[in-house]
Amino acid sequence: MKKQAIGIFDSGIGGTSIWKEIAIALPNEDTIYLADSKFAPYGKRSQEEIISLSIKNTKKLLELNCKIIVVACNTATTNAIKTLRSQFDVPFIGIEPAIKPAALKTKTKKIGILATKGTLSSELFATTSDLYTNNTEVIEVIGTGLVELIEAGKIYGEEMFTLLSSYIRPLVEKNIDYLVLGCSHYPYLIPVLKKILPKNIIIIDSGEAVARQTKVILSNNDLLNENASEGSHIFFTNGRLSVLQNIVKKTNITTDANQLEF
């Protein structure tokens, strides 16, 4: 079982930002990534739909013989991970907005969070946010349209800059000092965000924390691959192959990307 791959899924290509951290932290592990781009964005969907898509993706990854599932999507984690854990007998790692580190470090006592409607309206997010943000104002912004532009490969254009600026400006005016990226697509916006944000505002995402947690859970379950050789990385998308290929080729990690109906 140790030699089986780590399965990772997201509503699209965004979770590759998490995959990259996992590939760096666990270089001997094989990975299989599912980009469910055909059904993106999840953020606008009902909880029932998000649960049923997450079950579909999990079944596919288990069919492909994965030993652990990383839900590399905040929207799927906050809406579906409880159900997944109750229905499947395999360890799951989820991703949630990094509210806690931001709340611990903020000096202005104001933090911004950019995420999907599905994440911000979930019960799990409300619980985490309440738990860690005593005396801190959390200003939530729904990133409507951002995932669609990223999925279309339009990260660096004028359209993205204008839309993102309209979401970020009110946060800057409110004097936040931390911006939490609560969607695994958004780390790809960091170069654009850096042009918009004043230098004193720190951006936080959850990629490295998820990779660390994946290592801990694999080790606790005696599932770490003991191979000395480098792992292989296979990607499947039910959307546009070229968009996925363009995003993963920037990592300089050898990958094999394919189209698949699922």
Nearest of 140, 124, 127, 114 to residue 85 by alpha carbon: 124
- Rule CB under 6 A: which of 223-262 touch ligand DGL? none
User: Would you say 116 or 238 has its CB closer to ligand DGL?
Assistant: 116
Looking at the DSSP bridge assignments, the partners of residue 92 are: 69
State in angstroms the smallest separation of the CB of 43 from ligand DGL: 3
User: Would you say 73 or 203 has its CB closer to ligand DGL?
Assistant: 73
What x/- string results for residues 25 through 64 when contact with ligand DGL is judged by CB under 6 A?
Answer: ---------------xxxx---------------------
Nearest of 99, 117, 115, 62 to residue 84 by alpha carbon: 62
Determine if 184 is a binding residue for ligand DGL (CB under 6 A).
yes
Which region, judged by CB under 6 A, interacts with ligand DGL, from 9-17, 130-138, 153-161, 221-229? 9-17
Member of 11, 54, 106, 133 binding ligand DGL (CB under 6 A): 11
Residue 142 tokens, joined: 């729904």
Nearest of 26, 33, 89, 4 to residue 260 by alpha carbon: 33
User: Would you say 125 or 178 has its CB closer to ligand DGL?
Assistant: 125
Member of 54, 119, 128, 238 binding ligand DGL (CB under 6 A): 119
Nearest of 26, 76, 34 to residue 208 by alpha carbon: 26
Member of 9, 10, 51, 67 binding ligand DGL (CB under 6 A): 10
CA distance 186 to 250: 16
**Cβ pair 140, 116 in contact under 8 A:** no
Is 183 annotated in the active site? yes
Ordered strands of the 233-237 beta sheet: 92-93, 68-71, 6-10, 31-35, 233-237, 256-259
Member of 16, 54, 58, 116 binding ligand DGL (CB under 6 A): 116
State in angstroms the smallest separation of the CB of 78 from ligand DGL: 8
Nearest 5°: the CA angle 145, 150, 152 is 95
**What interhelical angle do 74-87 and 123-132 show, nearest 10?**
110
Is 73 annotated in the active site? yes
**Annotated catalytic residue within 51, 84, 95, 183:** 183
Nearest of 193, 231, 208 to residue 20 by alpha carbon: 208
User: Would you say 5 or 181 has its CB closer to ligand DGL?
Assistant: 181
CA distance 219 to 66: 16
Member of 20, 60, 67, 185 binding ligand DGL (CB under 6 A): 185
Residues found near ligand DGL in the complex (CB under 6 A): 10-11, 14-15, 40-43, 73-75, 116, 119, 147, 183-185
Q: Which positions are catalytic?
A: 73, 183
